[in-house]
Amino acid sequence: MYTHSCSNCAMSDLCLPLGLSKQEVQKLEEIVQTTAVKHVGDKIVRQGDKFDKLYAIKSGMCKAYRFDESGVEYVQSFHLPGEIFGLDAIYAKHYGFSVEALDTTVLCELDYRQLQNLCSEIPALQHQLFNLLSRDLYSSHVNPIEHFDQSAEQKLAGFVHNLLTRFQARGHNSLEMQLPMSRRDIANHLGLAPETISRLLKRFQNNEVLAIDNRIVSVLDVGKLQSLVHCHALEARITRRQVSKAG
């Protein structure tokens, strides 16, 4: 199996070239383009635009968001290096979400039509793409349902912990993180009020779980943070989300 050179994918078992022969990887690379650098606020795709490309983040951070029919904004996700977006637009033929850079960001562009043709030629590539779609589907099934039954504290702790884990998986071996998004974006993403985010961050600071300097967050106690994510899980909410009796 060919070990490819895409440094950002080092931590992922789902980078597209995985499992491909040297020759096949070359074919894949022929249809990949690296875009110019994007800066804070630059839009990469706009909700409603015609779908033609998938994007993979090489460095930086992006936020994906949409406006519903009533003009209300929803921040769906924050994307880190190694992650691919646009997959949810294949069927609809139009992007369902706008994506913009929160930071200086470099991307790969993949023409979907070409990729699809290549998948017919290279079974291993088809296999990888099915896996990629399936993994995204799984996490978007598991994450939201667990979230929307949690307290604000659990949600925010989960959010910070999730980011930390993802940063660490990318080789960022420090407990300090730059969160380039606004409090309002975080609040929106978690379905909370911005004021609640402020109050909780302060509480986490008081409890010596986090240290916060504007948009720089340092995790002081990973264990405490983790326990905050699961804490209420057994005390409350057991009526709605019934605890298992059988196996």
List interacting residues with DNA (CB under 7 A). 151-153, 182-184, 191-199, 201-202, 212, 214-215, 236-240
CB atoms within 10 A of CB 50: 9
Q: Are 125 and 31 in contact (CB under 8 A)?
A: no
Residue 138 burial (10 A CB sphere; 0-12, 13-18, 19+):
exposed
Pick from DNA, its own copies, none: which does 3 bind, CB < 5 to 8 A by kind?
none
> Total binding residues for its own copies by CB under 8 A?
62
Closer to its own copies by Cβ: residue 153 or 220: 153
Q: How many CA atoms lie within 13 A of 132 on its CB side?
A: 22
Cβ neighbours for 16, distance < 8 A, ≥ 6 positions apart:
28, 125, 128, 129, 132
Cβ neighbours for 6, distance < 8 A, ≥ 6 positions apart:
15, 17
Pick from its own copies, DNA, none: which does 133 bind, CB < 5 to 8 A by kind?
its own copies
Q: Are 154 and 192 in contact (CB under 8 A)?
A: no
Query: Which residue in 84, 111, 116 sits closest to 99, CA to CA?
Result: 84
Pick from DNA, its own copies, none: which does 134 bind, CB < 5 to 8 A by kind?
its own copies
Compose the 2-31 pattern: x for residues touching its own copies by CB under 8 A, - for all others.
------------x-----------------
Closer to DNA by Cβ: residue 13 or 195: 195
Least gap, CB of 47 to its own copies (angstroms) = 10
User: For 238, phi and psi rounded to 5 degrees?
Assistant: -80, -15
Compose the 108-147 pattern: x for residues touching its own copies by CB under 8 A, - for all others.
--------x--xx--x--xx-xxxxxxxxxx-xxx-xxxx
**How many residues are recorded in the chain?**
247
Interaction of residue 181 with its own copies, rule CB under 8 A: no
Interaction of residue 161 with its own copies, rule CB under 8 A: no
Q: Which residues bind its own copies (CB under 8 A)?
A: 14, 66-74, 76, 87-92, 96-97, 116, 119-120, 123, 126-127, 129-138, 140-142, 144-149, 184, 187-188, 191-194, 230, 233-234, 237-244
